[in-house]
Structure 1
Amino acid sequence: MAQPIRVGLAGFGISATVFHAPFFATMPEYELVAVLERTKNESPQKYPSVRVVRSIEELVADPSIDLVVITTPNETHFPYSKLALQAGKHVVVEKPFTNTSAEAQELVKLAAASDKILSVYQNRRYVSDFFTIRDVLDKKLLGEVHEFEGHYDRYRAEARPQAWREAAKPGSGILYDLGAHLIDQALYLFGLPQNITADIRQQRPHAKVDDYFDLRLNYGFTKVILHAGMLVREPGPRYMIHGTIGSFIKNGEDPQEALLRAGVLPTGDNWGREPEAIHGLLHTEIDGKLVRQTIPSQAGDYGLYYKNLYNTIVHQAPLKEKPEHGYNTVRLIELALESHSRQCTIPCSGLLDVEYR
């Protein structure tokens, strides 16, 4: 194996400690060497070999760092990514890619002009339900899909006073946070939509930013519904997919995030495996016979994102999570906000025609 990719991690909040650092700690392809913490010194307590830096400028100036991973608040994604690319680093940036499509477009151009990799951390491509859904659709087990409905519902009625995602500033709110996952999945599975209709709300009395959305993406024959809310105490199915010959219904959630939050390291053969109780229901017709049965979920693995990235950086394999994908997600968020503001359906203009797989 080649030398491990040396990582500088910008931020040490939930995103860094749950979704990134555990994989650098368990994958021989990577070595975590530095962490940006503005005032605290928490990272060496968990990873004694790392050193703490106090600014993004100090992080990107370190000649030993190959890859900068940006997990800081959304308004920093654009300026920090730009600084890291200009310093000659490969860059991974948490979703959403940027707060505006203009910023996203600038980063796409900057990455194209450099010999460095810029990638968006779309880890929800690497979860159990998405792997299973992709397999069902690729095998045409439902025929031609006419309706796809994806939910990201939860119940949290109380405010989180220190949560920057709930503060009234650009890039905050559930559409930028959870919508970025669902939109990316829709683009991956179905490509670019023709038009969009959006309903975006503040449902909780204390809300300063959106905490509910319902997006309708029109693909002609296929309709995609993407929904998220914070006042759903008893969620229904996470995905409901209906095609010309069958349906697939999926409840529950990939177990990886809960395990990582509990401090479990992502190792072992059972990592990312869902319990049978939440395996999906397939009701369709196969070889002329009706079939109604649960089908085993494929194992999820966020670590595959970083395995693929390693192959891109070291072995020049095609990049799977492209900066153009990040641009398209941000552009669709902007179009959703415009649709809601105008209370009408609008064309999906300004999207980039780029391959997703």
Structure 2
Amino acid sequence: MRTINTALLSYGMSGKIFHAPFLQLHPGFNLLGSWERSKKLIQQDYPEAISYPSLASILEDDNIELVIVNTPINSHYEYTKAVLLAGKHAVVEKAFTVTAAEAIELEAIAREKRLKLSVFQNRRWDSDFKTVKKIVDQGVLGDLVEVTFAYEQHLPDLNAKAHLETPSPGAGLLRDRGSHVTDQALSLFGMPDAVFGDLRIVRKDSQVNDYFDMLLYYPDLRVRVKGSFICREMAPAYILHGQLGSFLKHRGDKQEDRLVAGDKPDFDTWCTEPEGLEGTLHTLRNGEVIRESVSTERGNYVEYFEGVYQSIVNGADEPVTGRDGVNTMRVLEAAIKSNEEGRVVPIF
């Protein structure tokens, strides 16, 4: 089996929790090391790994084939461009970039150099969203009319990570959590015709948007994408209403919780939701109204990395393509413009 030597650009929470365990699990990847600016931590977990002193040292290492750009959003464009120009494949954390123009340029560079470029939208492989996708694919609700995707939490205190709370082009909940639910919506329904966006600051002492509510307009469908840090009691994260029925599902994926707790993923049992979080399907089936619980699909982020592996080794499409990243940035940018101008913004 061909092995892809891979390097991280950071070994903080993202590298330690969301990337390294799955790179270690998948036999097609070899975690060669990480750029570490001050704290040298990767060798505590992976003794054979290299602690690279600079980005240049990674770009100059001919053994590295794939680079994970998992640094703050403001740096994604600069670092990813450097990685691609060095002839290496790239996986880029969400949000892909700060602007749609940056995303378009990166996609063009990757295409020109025949490199693989993928956005790390791991939430497509959450157990809850996989269940929603199954319901949509089955068509059991009939033609969809109204859909809500929400990423709500109760985190009223400011984040200790200064770059998340300091005003900058890449800061705010819209690009952070909002990029996830926007990508989920676009992966199911494609690009909308227009967007209306409402951004707010609701936490005490916050300086960045920590509430967003977007309405995506499709010819016969409206998709609401929303997020907030002040929800002590959460409504279902996924609400779908169609001509035949409805489906409701709370957010319940436990992969992040287990990874933070130090659990290691595997291929076979990772990661099931606890009982009691099943979705509710209330619809018309064979002329009879039914209301029943729907078992939750199993989530596993290793499926994303398998997609990356297949794209590099066998030429398959990336699991989340550069064009997917461009489209998400176009919608987020339209929402920001809509909020500033107080109007619905068409997407051409």
Q: TM-score if structure 1 supplies the norm length?
A: 0.95
Q: Is the 1:196–1:347 Cα contact (8 Å) retained in structure 2?
A: yes
Give % identity. 38
Aligned to 1:355: none
Confirm whether residue 188 of structure 1 aligns to residue 187 of structure 2.
yes
Q: Is the 1:276–1:296 Cα contact (8 Å) retained in structure 2?
A: no
Aligned to 1:211: 210
What are the Cα deviations for residues 1-36 of structure 1, in whole angstroms up to 9, with x where unaligned? 22x110011001111111101111211111101200
| Aligned AA (2:125) | Y
For residues 93 and 63 of structure 1, the distance between their equivalents in structure 2, rounded to whole angstroms, comes to 20
Q: Is the 1:35–1:51 Cα contact (8 Å) retained in structure 2?
A: yes
Q: Secondary structure at the match of 1:129?
A: helix
Confirm whether residue 45 of structure 1 aligns to residue 16 of structure 2.
no
Q: Is the 1:274–1:299 Cα contact (8 Å) retained in structure 2?
A: yes
For residues 5 and 268 of structure 1, the distance between their equivalents in structure 2, rounded to whole angstroms, comes to 19
- Deviates further, 6-15 or 163-172: 163-172
What are the Cα deviations for residues 145-173 of structure 1, in whole angstroms up to 9, with x where unaligned? 10100111011111224331111111110
Aligned to 1:85: 84
Aligned to 1:352: none
Q: Secondary structure at the match of 1:277?
A: coil
| Aligned AA (1:288) | G
For residues 247 and 162 of structure 1, the distance between their equivalents in structure 2, rounded to whole angstroms, comes to 39
Unaligned runs of 5+ in 1: 350-357
Aligned to 1:145: 144
| Aligned AA (1:87) | A
Aligned to 2:329: 330
For residues 214 and 119 of structure 1, the distance between their equivalents in structure 2, rounded to whole angstroms, comes to 26
What are the Cα deviations for residues 68-92 of structure 1, in whole angstroms up to 9, with x where unaligned? 0011111111111111111111110
Query: 1:331, CA displacement in angstroms?
Result: 1.3
For residues 328 and 251 of structure 1, the distance between their equivalents in structure 2, rounded to whole angstroms, comes to 26
Alignment of 1:49-60 (within 5 A): 49-60=48-59
| Aligned AA (1:80) | Y
Counting matched residue pairs gives 348
| Aligned AA (2:164) | R
For residues 186 and 267 of structure 2, the distance between their equivalents in structure 1, rounded to whole angstroms, comes to 31
Q: Is the 2:144–2:241 Cα contact (8 Å) retained in structure 1?
A: yes
For residues 311 and 157 of structure 1, the distance between their equivalents in structure 2, rounded to whole angstroms, comes to 41
| Aligned AA (2:151) | Y
For residues 13 and 169 of structure 1, the distance between their equivalents in structure 2, rounded to whole angstroms, comes to 21
For residues 162 and 300 of structure 1, the distance between their equivalents in structure 2, rounded to whole angstroms, comes to 28
Structure 1 residue ranges, 4+ long, deviating more than 2 angstroms after superposition? 160-163
Confirm whether residue 230 of structure 1 aligns to residue 229 of structure 2.
yes
Query: 1:268, CA displacement in angstroms?
Result: 5.3
For residues 129 and 91 of structure 1, the distance between their equivalents in structure 2, rounded to whole angstroms, comes to 27
What are the Cα deviations for residues 164-197 of structure 1, in whole angstroms up to 9, with x where unaligned? 1111111110000011001111111111111111
Query: 1:274, CA displacement in angstroms?
Result: 1.0
Aligned to 2:11: 12
Aligned to 2:243: 244
Q: TM-score if structure 2 supplies the norm length?
A: 0.98
For residues 306 and 171 of structure 2, the distance between their equivalents in structure 1, rounded to whole angstroms, comes to 30
For residues 221 and 112 of structure 2, the distance between their equivalents in structure 1, rounded to whole angstroms, comes to 37
